[in-house]
Structure 1
Amino acid sequence: MITIYHNTRCKKSREGLEIVKESGKDYRVREYLKVPLTEEELSALIDKMNISPIQLVRKNEKVWKDSYKEKDLSDRELISVMVKNPRLIERPIVENDRKAVIGRPASDIDEVL
């Protein structure tokens, strides 16, 4: 089963959802702004992506610039910040049983389909 972590207001996320739909594979949509991720879920996604937490942060968001940009946060603290401020999470994220990717560029989604 494919899962897409989706923000309906984001053009790139909508493009990612179309790619997933067109694949013909079974999928589910998780609107992570409405159903936030837990720290455990976000940690597992980061592990599946094989990235560090800072690579998942949207650094142009106002809340990042105003409250966190100048801080030296640990990986655990970064995950906590993203859970508390889900708008900071890059999108879309597409996941299968073994791997997850950030769909930027959208062609990266093919890796998990």
Structure 2
Amino acid sequence: MKATIWHNPDCGTSRKTLAILEETPGIDLTVVKYLETPPSAEKLAQLYRDAGISAQQGLRLRGTDAEERGLPAASAAEVLAAMVAQPRLIERPLVETDRGVRLCRPQETVREIL
């Protein structure tokens, strides 16, 4: 099974999710360090749609200026544009497999799509 994780190596939850993926037999894993290679607005929209969440639900509030900028109440297009411009606004980790997409907080959530 193919799996892609949008990963931040400085995040404990992201590291734990990556470890689950690496320990699972049969996973063809792609690791995207999204702070270095951010996804496009179109890709983020697709990931959130497939995960069944809104762009606002995928917004990282902790350690960012998202609330001060009014992003939780902004339109999806505005949130996605802000995420592309400042990828630290993307809550992590996002994982995509053949079985779906999950925002893996907590990390055990990844097992739903393995």
Query: Same fold judged by TM-score > 0.5?
Result: yes
Partner secondary structure for residue 18 of structure 1: helix
Q: What's the CA shift for 1:98?
A: 4.2
CA contact (8 A) 1:48 1:98 kept: no
Aligned to 2:81: 80
Task: State the TM-score, normalized to the length of structure 2.
Answer: 0.90
Task: Map Cα deviations across residues 20-51 of structure 1 (whole Å, 9 max, x no partner).
Answer: 00112111100001111111111110111011
Alpha-carbon separation, structure 2, partners of 1:41 and 1:100: 12
Give the structure with the higher percent helix: 1
> More deviation in 54-63 or 20-29?
54-63
Aligned to 1:68: 70
User: 1:78 corresponds to which letter in structure 2?
Assistant: V
Aligned to 1:15: 16
CA contact (8 A) 2:64 2:89 kept: no
Alpha-carbon separation, structure 1, partners of 2:62 and 2:16: 20
Task: State the TM-score, normalized to the length of structure 1.
Answer: 0.91
Q: What's the CA shift for 1:105?
A: 0.9
Paired-residue identity, % = 37
Q: What's the CA shift for 1:11?
A: 0.7
Alpha-carbon separation, structure 1, partners of 2:74 and 2:50: 21
* Structure 1 residues without counterparts, runs of 5 or longer: none
* Structure 2 residues without counterparts, runs of 5 or longer: none
State whether structure 2 residue 98 is matched by structure 1 residue 97. Answer: yes
